[in-house]
Amino acid sequence: MNKKEKILIVDDETRMRKLIGDFLLNNGFDIVEASDGEEALKVFYSTKGISLIILDVMMPKLDGYEVLKTIREESKVPVILLTAKGEENDQLKGFVSGADDYVQKPFSPKVLVARINAVLKRNDVSAQTIEIGGIKIDKTAHQVYIDEKPVEFSFKEFELLDYLIENKGIALTREKILNAVWNFDYYGDARTVDTHIKKVRAKLGKKGDYVKTLWGFGYKFVYDDSKKSNTKKK
């Protein structure tokens, strides 16, 4: 993975931006900064090549959730929320809003860099297309097609569907899904998985039936290749 990724740091505390910025620069990243939510949106839309956003939640003018919601209307750029809040409901709200990870203050800069690298690696997908049961996942374009028609999936919805299909036929616990899709052994509310499963099923339409609920356990993607042999990778 190319270490010269451009990171947008959004925090209303100058010292926090400097702390994060200096550490990222020392680790080979390029950075741009914003001091509040409104400025963050201006910088994001006017700056090309932003690979990831570190977004503080508690900010004046627009908070991090509002900024994330606006960005998700047009972009799937990875976002790591940065906040002093530690309640599970706050974390759940962040993930449901489309965040890729959640870091609580105070934090280790080394851990933050590790999480940045992990998120970038997850989203640095290879040129690969997966097709199964009328569902096509184009990893390069980060696009899902249902019966050849494009359907919009958020980052987490896309990763969840991809993970389920890659593990077709395997019973997956909610905890395993959380660890794989949200990374870093996230111990938040399992409802995060249930919420995203519900959204994925809705977007799959009738093909949502491929995602089976294993009551008291988790989920499994089930498709019988013998009935229609159209599963392939390119």
Sketch out the chain's domains with CATH numbers: 6-123 (3.40.50.2300), 129-233 (1.10.10.10)
pLDDT at 183: 65
Counting Cα atoms < 13 Å in the Cβ hemisphere of 169 gives 4
pLDDT at 124: 64
CA-to-CA distance for 14 and 20, rounded, in angstroms? 10
pLDDT at 225: 66
pLDDT at 75: 81
pLDDT at 232: 46
Detail the DSSP E strand segments found in the chain.
6-10, 30-34, 50-56, 79-83, 101-104, 129-132, 135-138, 143-146, 149-151, 172-173, 211-214, 218-221, 232-233
List per-residue pLDDT tens for the chain, 234 residues long: 444 789 999 999 999 999 999 999 999 999 999 999 999 999 998 888 888 999 998 888 888 889 998 888 878 888 998 887 665 566 677 777 778 888 888 888 888 888 898 888 777 654 468 889 999 998 767 889 999 999 999 888 998 999 999 899 999 998 888 888 876 445 556 788 999 999 999 999 999 999 999 998 999 999 876 555 444 444
pTM higher than 0.75, yes or no?
no
Chain position carrying tokens 């569907």: 161
